[in-house]
């Protein structure tokens, strides 16, 4: 951390600040420039309150020289993390295809889709979506029903299952769900993150549509601080002025996150654009960019699905996309 002092600060005030840093266990190097004096702080600066330091009378600005995240930082763990759920591995060269319907309508439908998906190469069944237009009570009832469908499909196919979780209260209800998904709206829901941090279950952490990469990594850090290292980072599109799609998939975030962190990085090929007809090209791009997996919304009959029909692809389209992805993954990892 670099602390830049204001022009004209007295030696006394400067030394007082230096003594305060030293009392926090930090070493301080002083560098005097023509216009500014700069203090270089040496040691563990992560717990410093940078806002407070920046507001001090004698401080002009501070600049970080190391990333503010540690546990998920690749500098401190060069090798890839590998997350396992059932027989599926994700990360470290293992590619995870998370597929399934937003709209879970019956046990029969879910099992039938799951079988097709497995046959085409999916290795995690993911399902469900939040319909906010109904009361909490109905949401909860529907949620339990959907969990039941997924668990039946898991029994029928052996695939691990993933589902979005919305609140701390829901945790016990998700006992049989193998991977918990934190949606973009909950990326900074700290009570939920803390609860998930106290478990060992794999967590998919989605980037908020308005979060920088650093903010996403800080959220992962928060979960990991509780002891859970099984985090999968998920890019799902950010909000920009570009208005043909629901969000703008930040494709370069994939190699960047992999550079910054050892955690597996996946992306959501369906929700980033909201348009099923773009799922094919976008999925292949995600794979080619070096992701460790991706999420695809698949439905047996998209135009007649209860919702998000515009966003899902058919099981036939999925099979074709998965085949291409498998060949692209081979090309880039050969």
Residue 144 in the binding site for its own copies (CB under 8 A): no
Considering Cα of 75, then 77, then 78, then 84, what sign does the dihedral take?
Answer: negative
217 vs 240: CA distance, rounded Å: 21
The partner residues of 206 in beta bridges, in order of sequence, read 234
Residue 158 in the binding site for its own copies (CB under 8 A): no
**Stretch near its own copies under the rule CB under 8 A, chosen from 12-20, 77-85, 119-127, 299-307:** 299-307
Determine which residue in the list 61, 108, 144, 227 makes contact with its own copies, applying CB under 8 A: 61
Q: Which residues contact 327 (CB under 8 A, 6 or more apart)?
A: none
Residue 87 in the binding site for its own copies (CB under 8 A): no
Length of the chain as a residue count = 334
Residue 302 in the binding site for its own copies (CB under 8 A): yes
Complex with its own copies: residue 82 or 251, whichever CB lies closer: 251
| DSSP helix/strand/coil, 35 | coil
Contact 229, 81 (CB under 8 A): yes
Contact 28, 41 (CB under 8 A): yes
Which two tokens mark 181? 């998904």
Residue 18 in the binding site for its own copies (CB under 8 A): no
Determine which residue in the list 92, 93, 158, 281 makes contact with its own copies, applying CB under 8 A: 281
Residue 56 in the binding site for its own copies (CB under 8 A): yes
Stretch 100-129 residues interacting with its own copies (CB under 8 A) = none
156 vs 111: CA distance, rounded Å: 7
Residue 289 in the binding site for its own copies (CB under 8 A): yes
Neighbours of 187 (CB within 10 A): 24
**Stretch near its own copies under the rule CB under 8 A, chosen from 9-17, 41-49, 147-155, 173-181:** 41-49
Determine which residue in the list 13, 14, 18, 40 makes contact with its own copies, applying CB under 8 A: 40
Determine which residue in the list 18, 89, 199, 251 makes contact with its own copies, applying CB under 8 A: 251
* DSSP per residue, 46-111: TTS-HHHHHTSTTEEEEE-SS-S--TTBTTT--SPP-EEETTEEEBTTBPEEEEE-SS---HHHHH
Q: Quote the least distance from Cβ 150 to its own copies, whole Å.
A: 22
Residue 298 in the binding site for its own copies (CB under 8 A): no
The maximal CA–CA distance of the chain, rounded, in angstroms, is: 77
Nearest to 55 by CA among 1, 6, 8: 6
Residue 23 in the binding site for its own copies (CB under 8 A): no
Q: How many residues bind its own copies (CB under 8 A)?
A: 95
Residue 141 in the binding site for its own copies (CB under 8 A): no
44 vs 26: CA distance, rounded Å: 7
Q: Quote the least distance from Cβ 11 to its own copies, whole Å.
A: 17
Q: Quote the least distance from Cβ 154 to its own copies, whole Å.
A: 27
The DSSP output letter for 326 is H
Determine which residue in the list 8, 25, 33, 78 makes contact with its own copies, applying CB under 8 A: 33
Q: Quote the least distance from Cβ 249 to its own copies, whole Å.
A: 5
Residue 209 in the binding site for its own copies (CB under 8 A): yes
Complex with its own copies: residue 65 or 87, whichever CB lies closer: 65
**Stretch near its own copies under the rule CB under 8 A, chosen from 30-38, 110-118, 144-152, 156-164:** 30-38
């Amino acid at each position: 951390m670099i602390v830049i002092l204001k022009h004209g600060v007295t030696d006394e005030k400067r030394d007082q600040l230096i003594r305060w840093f030293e009392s926090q266990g930090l070493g301080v190097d002083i560098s005097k420039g023509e216009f500014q004096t700069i203090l270089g702080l040496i040691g563990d600066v992560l717990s410093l309150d940078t806002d407070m330091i920046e507001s001090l009378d004698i401080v002009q600005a501070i600049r970080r020289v190391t990333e503010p995240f540690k546990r998920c930082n690749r500098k401190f763990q060069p090798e890839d993390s590998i997350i396992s759920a059932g027989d599926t591995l994700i990360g470290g060269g293992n590619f995870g295809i998370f597929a399934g319907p937003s709209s879970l309508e019956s046990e029969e439908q879910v099992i039938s889709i799951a079988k097709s998906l497995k046959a085409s190469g999916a290795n995690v069944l993911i399902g469900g979506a939040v319909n906010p237009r109904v009361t909490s009570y109905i949401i909860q009832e529907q949620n339990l029903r959907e969990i039941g469908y997924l668990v039946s499909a898991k029994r029928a196919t052996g695939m691990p299952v993933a589902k979005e979780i919305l609140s701390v209260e829901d945790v016990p209800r998700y006992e049989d769900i193998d991977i918990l998904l934190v949606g973009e709206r909950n990326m900074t829901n700290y009570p939920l993150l803390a609860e998930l941090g106290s478990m060992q279950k794999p967590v998919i952490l989605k980037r908020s549509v308005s979060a920088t990469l650093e903010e996403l990594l800080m959220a992962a850090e928060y979960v990991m601080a509780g002891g859970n290292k099984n985090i999968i980072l998920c890019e799902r599109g950010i909000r920009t002025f570009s208005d043909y799609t629901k969000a703008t998939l930040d494709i370069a975030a994939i190699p960047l996150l992999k550079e910054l962190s050892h955690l597996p990085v996946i992306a959501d090929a369906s929700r980033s654009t909201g348009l099923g007809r773009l799922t094919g090209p976008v999925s292949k791009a995600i794979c080619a960019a070096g992701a460790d997996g991706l999420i695809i919304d698949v439905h047996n009959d998209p135009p007649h699905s209860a919702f998000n029909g515009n966003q899902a692809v058919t099981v036939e389209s999925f099979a074709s996309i998965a085949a291409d992805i498998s060949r692209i993954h081979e090309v880039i990892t050969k």
